[in-house]
Structures are given as C-alpha cells and as structure tokens.
C-alpha cells in the first residue's frame, strides 16, 4: 500500500533530526510503480524521484503533482514550485514544495 503522506511526514522527521545534528538534507518524492531486484529499487518512479530531489534545496521537500494529489485531506500544505521537464522522461511535471509548520502550528 502506498502512503505518500506518511512518507512526507517521515522525511520531515528525518530532516528535523538531521538539522539538530548540523546536517542539512533535501528530498524529492514521487510515487509509482517500482522495479525491485534483490535489495535494490529502480524504474521510472525511482528515477523521477531522484531527479526531483536534485532540484530541491537543503531543508526542502519537493513532490510531484502525483504525490500532492494523493495526500489531499491529509493536512499537509504545498506551494507551487513550477513545471519542469527532465531529459529522458516524457512530459512536463508540476512540482510542489512542502510547507512545513513549526511545532506550534505556525
């Protein structure tokens, strides 16, 4: 079962822990079919997520429109990042940056 809202919240927790240790990380998320060979994951969805992460900045989580649509009603918020195309991947992809609220909800 896919759980993109849980994945976003997991990345937020990892980023917060890394920040406390003085490490900044960035992330990109997409969901779709993956190829599993042994302990390795690959395929279109993994490749697209890797490319989305490459556009992200430290402390930021970028997600594809696919992920944003799947988490509707989850309480997560997003801002438009823009449309991007990637070499070797057909089409143009709408990307969104997660809006992270502080512990007190702001």
Taking 90 as the threshold, does the pLDDT of residue 30 lie above it? Answer: yes
Q: What is the pLDDT of residues 56-87, one digit of tens each?
A: 999 999 999 999 999 999 999 999 999 999 99
Query: What percent of the chain shows pLDDT beyond 70?
Result: 92
Q: How far is CA 94 from CA 22, 23, 32, 64, 71, in A?
A: 31, 28, 15, 6, 15
Determine the 3-state secondary structure of 51 from DSSP.
helix
Q: Can you give the pTM of this predicted structure?
A: 0.86
pLDDT number for residue 88: 87
Structural domains in the chain, sorted by start: 4-99 (3.30.70.1230)
Instruction: Kindly tell me if the per-residue pLDDT of 3 is higher than 90.
Output: no
Compute the distance between CA of residue 6 and CA of residue 43 in angstroms, rounded to an integer. Answer: 22
């Amino acid at each position: 079962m896919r759980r993109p809202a849980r994945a976003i919240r997991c990345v937020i927790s990892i980023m917060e822990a890394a920040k406390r240790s003085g490490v900044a990380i960035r992330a990109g998320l997409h969901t779709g079919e993956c190829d599993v060979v042994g302990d390795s994951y690959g395929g279109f969805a993994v490749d697209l997520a890797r490319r989305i992460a490459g556009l992200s900045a430290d402390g930021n989580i970028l997600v594809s429109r696919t992920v944003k649509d799947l988490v509707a009603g989850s309480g997560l918020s997003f801002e438009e990042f823009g449309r991007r195309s990637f070499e070797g991947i057909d089409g143009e992809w709408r990307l969104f940056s997660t809006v992270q609220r502080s512990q007190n909800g702001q």
